[in-house]
Structure 1
Amino acid sequence: MSYEEVFALIKEAMVELFELEPSQVTPEALLADDLDLDSIDAVDLVVFLQNKTGDKFEAETFKSVKTVDDVVVAVVDLAANA
């Protein structure tokens, strides 16, 4: 999947799962500070991404992500190495 495809998928997930406005979900948005997401939300996001992509993501991979862009890059990298 391309960066753009993954970003669109993550944006869709965040709007659907966390009732965020699409305009809030930008690559620079900080997950905790800007979007008010916590570790439980991160697990929900990982499950959503696994269901949508068919790939298996380890929660450990997402421990160091801080921004939406970090999540997108992690998913792109995982998909490329799958």
Structure 2
Amino acid sequence: MQREAVFEQVKLALVELFELDAASVTETAHLYQDLELDSIDAVDLVVRLQKLTGKKIRPEEFKTVRTVGDVVDAVTQLLADA
């Protein structure tokens, strides 16, 4: 899956799960400060991404994730490791 396609899927998940304005979901948007997600929301996002990728996501893979772009990078790497 191309990086742009991953971004679109992550964006769609964020909009659907957390009722965010699609325009606010950019690669540079910070998950906690800009999008006001919390740790429970992060778990929900990981569950959605596991369904999307069909891969188990280990918590340590997401420890450094701070922005939407970081999520896209992590998912892209996960898919590349397949």
TM-score of the two chains, using structure 1 as the length reference: 0.95
Q: Are the equivalent residues in 2 in contact too, given 1:43–1:59 (CA < 8 A)?
A: no
What is the letter of the counterpart of residue 69 of structure 2?
A: D
Give structure 1 regions of 4+ aligned residues with deviation exceeding 3 angstroms. Answer: none
Deviation (angstroms), 1:33: 0.5
Identify the residue that residue 2 of structure 2 maps to in structure 1: 2
- Listed one character per residue, the Cα deviations across residues 43-80 of structure 1 (whole Å, up to 9, x for unaligned) are 10010011122111112211111100000001101110
Aligned residues: 82
Identify the residue that residue 54 of structure 1 maps to in structure 2: 54
Percent of paired sites with the same residue: 59
SS in 2 for 1:32: coil
Q: CA RMSD in A?
A: 0.8
Deviation (angstroms), 1:39: 1.2
Which runs of no fewer than 5 residues in structure 1 stay unpaired? none
